[in-house]
Chain A
Amino acid sequence: MSALPLTLRADVLVVGGGMAAAWAALAAAEAGATVIVVDKGAMGTSGVTATGGPGHWFVPPEAHDAAIARQMARTEDLAQADWMACVLDLTWRYLPTIAPWYPFGSDGRGGRYVQGVRGPEYMRALRRMCTVAGIAVLDHHPALELVADRDGAIVGARGLALASGEDWEIHAGATVLATGGCAFRSGLIGSHSQTGDGLLMAAEAGAALSGMEFSISYSLSPAWASTRTLPFTAARFFREDGTELAVPSLKAGHAHFQALGAAMLQGPVLADLSAAPDGLPGVLRQIQPLTVAAFERRGIDLFRQRFPVRLFGEGTIRGTGGIAVVDGDCGTGVAGLYAAGDAATRERVAGAISGGGAVNSAWALASGRIAGAAAARHRDSATAGPALALGGPGLRTAGRPRVTDPLPLQRAIEAEMHGYDRALWRHAASLDQSATVLQGLWDEIGAHAAPPDPRGRVEWRATAAMAATARWCTAAAAARRETRGIAVRSDLPATDPALAHSLLVGGLDTLWVKAATPAARPLEPAL
C-alpha cells in the first residue's frame, strides 16, 4: 500500500465496466458532467454482456401498451407499469444510437435489425462512444470501498490499480454502482468479476437490498465450459447408457431445471441436438462463433454427437435481486449513491421472475441512463468533504493478520447458493442450514486478513462480498414464506396474495428482512 494514493476528482464516478456502466457514463457526460469510470476488468470485455448476445426489450412506441400488459401479467404483482413504460421508451430511443460504431444487420425488409446485439461488438461500440464523449475509463482499477462525508453522503470511492498495485481515491459529487450481479464464481462465462462487490459497498453505506430471494437461475452449457447461449433449446437428454430422460421443455420453467438438476445429481447427463431446426447450425456459425468454437476445438459436431451438459448457476445475474432502488432516479436512499443494471434490483420491470435476456438488457440500458443522468444532476450538491472510508469486511480486519486461501471458501459459498439440492428444492430447513453454513464462512472471512498483494486484496474483498450476497439471498428466501415467480419453495408451493410486495434485506454481521411498504415504492421515474 503506497502512502500517498493517486487522487482524482470528477463530477460523477461510475463503478463497473459493463453495459449499464457505459450507458450511465454516457448519460452523465451528455448532461455536462465530467465522468470517471473505474472497472475491475476492462470496459469492452467486462461483464456478461460482452460474452453474450443480448436481445433487448425493443418495442415500437405504438406497441408499448400491449408489451407492458403482457409483462405485467407475468411478473407476479411486483412490477410497475410506469417503470416498464420508462424502460421501453429509453431502450427504443437509445439502443439505435450505437449505429455509428456497431455493425447492425439487416431486418430483411431494407432496415436494420436492432433488438439483438452481439456482445463483443456491442461493448466495443459503447467503449468507443465513451471515449468520444471524453469519459475517462480506468481499466483494471477495482473499487474496494465507498467514501462518505461527515453526513453519510457518498462522495467517491477508493480502490487499487492492478497493474501497479497502487491505491487510488476518486472524489465525485455522485457515484453510480454498476458492478453487475453475483454468480458466486459458478464458472458462468463473463461472470468471474461479478462477485457482488457493489452490493457490499452499498450495504456498508446504508442501502438495502431487494428481491434477493429471486436468485434461482441457471443456464445449460456443455459440461466443460459455460457458453451462456441458447442453441440447446431443442435438446433431448440421455444417460451415458443411452436411456432417455424425460425433461420438460424450457416452457416449464423451474420444473425444467428441477428435472435436469435431479438427473445430474444422479450422474452425467448428455444432450442430443439432432432434432434442432435445420436452419440453426448455419445461423449459429455466423452469429455465435464462440459457441461453435467451444465444440469444434474438441472435435465435436454439436448437432450430430451427444455431449455432456451441466447447469451453470446465474445467481443474481439472470436472477432479479440487487440494491434496492427507492425512487425514480435509481437512487439507493443514500445521498449521492445510485445503482444500475444487474447490481440494482430489477423487480420494477421483472417482478418475481427473471425477466429473461430482453427485459434484463433493456433494464441495464435504461437504469444506466436514469442513474447517470440523476448523478449528473446531483453533482453540485454541497457536501462536507470526504471524511470516512466505509469498507469493512474483507478489507479491514480486527483479527489476527493471518492469510488463508479464499478458493475453498468461495466454493463452499457457491455450493450453498447453486447446489442443485439446495437451490432447486428450497425449504425452511435447508435454508436454515445454509444460513448457518454461510454465517460460519462469513465469520471465517472476518477473522482473516487480506493478503498483501494487489490481486490478493481484491480477491479477499470479493470473497467477503460473495458471502454477504449469499447471506442476503438466503435470508430473503427464508422470509418469503410462499412460492412466487422464481422464488420457489418446495415446502410452500402456493402463492400468498398477502405477500405481493418486495422484501428488503440488509445488515452485515446481523441481518434484517422487512416488507417494502407500498408507500415506499418509487413514483413515476424521471425521463
Chain B
Amino acid sequence: MIAALLAERCTGCNACVEQCPTRVFESGADGGLPVIAAPDACQTCYLCELACPSDALWVNPDAQDASAPPPADLLASGQLGRVKRDHGWNAPLDAGQLDAYRLLGPLLGEGVEIADRHYQRLIAAR
C-alpha cells in the first residue's frame, strides 16, 4: 500500500494525482503538495512510482500495510526510483530494455514441466 510521499523530494507536479488508477492522491490545498487521500483504494501496483518524476513515492509491498521507514532510511535505501530504473522507464525506446522478453515465456513453460515431473515423482513415492 502507498506508504510514503517524501516532502523532501516532491515538487508538487501532481503526476501521481493525475495518473493513479484509483485516485488515491488528491491535490494539496492552496497549491501545496499532493496528499494520500484514499489509501484504502490503493492496489499496490507501483504505477505511481513509475509516474513520479522526482522519485518521491514509496509503496509498501504489503497490500494491507501503510507503514513506512523514516524518510532518512528510505532516502538511503536505494529503493526510491528503483522500479523506474529497472523498467528503463525514461530510456529511449530502442535502448533494449525488453530484449529479454522473448525468453520469459519459454522459462515459465519450462517451470510448468519441472513442477509436473516433480509431482509425478512425489505421488509415485507415496
Contacts and interface: CB of A to CB of B under 8 A. Distances in A.
B13 interface: no
A287 B104 contact: yes
B100 A103 contact: no
Contacts of B86: 285-286, 289, 292-293
Interface string A269-287: 0000001110110111111
A116 B104 contact: yes
Interface residues of B, number: 59
B48 to A, nearest CB: 8
Interface in B97-125: 97-105, 107-112, 114-116, 118-119, 122-123
B44 to A, nearest CB: 5
B23 A140 contact: yes
A45 B20 contact: yes
Nearest to B44: A225
B45 A45 contact: yes
B83 A293 contact: yes
B98 A105 contact: yes
B115 to A, nearest CB: 4
Given A41-B23, A290-B46, A118 B98 contact: yes
B99 A105 contact: yes
Contacts of B107: 277, 279-280, 283
Interface residues of A, number: 72
Nearest to B62: A224
B57 interface: no
B123 A246 contact: yes
B54 interface: no
Interface in B42-98: 43-47, 50-51, 60-65, 79, 82-83, 86-89, 91-98
Nearest to A44: B19
A102 interface: yes
A525 B88 CA distance: 40
A451 interface: no
A103 B18 CA distance: 23
Contacts of B109: 233
A428 interface: no
A178 B47 CA distance: 21
Contacts of B91: 103
B41 interface: yes
Contact of B111 (A41, A55, A280): A280
Contacts, number: 192
A42 B14 CA distance: 13
A134 B63 CA distance: 37
Nearest to A235: B115
Contact of B98 (A55, A113, A139, A244): A113
Contacts of A400: none
Contact of B63 (A55, A140, A225): A225
Given A51-B47, A247-B119, A275 B114 contact: yes
B96 A105 contact: yes
A285 B107 CA distance: 13
Contacts of A55: 105
B21 interface: yes
A190 B20 contact: no
A344 B79 CA distance: 39
Contact of A190 (B43, B100, B126): B43
Nearest to B27: A163
A230, A232, A296 — most chain B CB neighbours (10 Å): A230
A190 B45 contact: yes
Interface string B8-24: 00000000001111110
Nearest 4 pairs of A and B residues by beta carbon: A233-B111, A105-B98, A289-B86, A234-B111
Given A51-B47, A103-B94, A187-B43, 17 more contacts: A44-B19, A45-B19, A53-B101, A103-B92, A105-B99, A105-B100, A108-B102, A118-B98, A118-B101, A224-B63, A233-B112, A233-B114, A246-B119, A283-B107, A286-B86, A287-B98, A294-B44
23 contacts: A44-B19, A103-B93, A105-B102, A116-B101, A118-B87, A163-B27, A190-B21, A224-B64, A225-B61, A231-B108, A233-B109, A233-B115, A234-B111, A236-B115, A249-B116, A249-B119, A276-B111, A277-B107, A283-B104, A284-B104, A286-B100, A287-B98, A293-B46
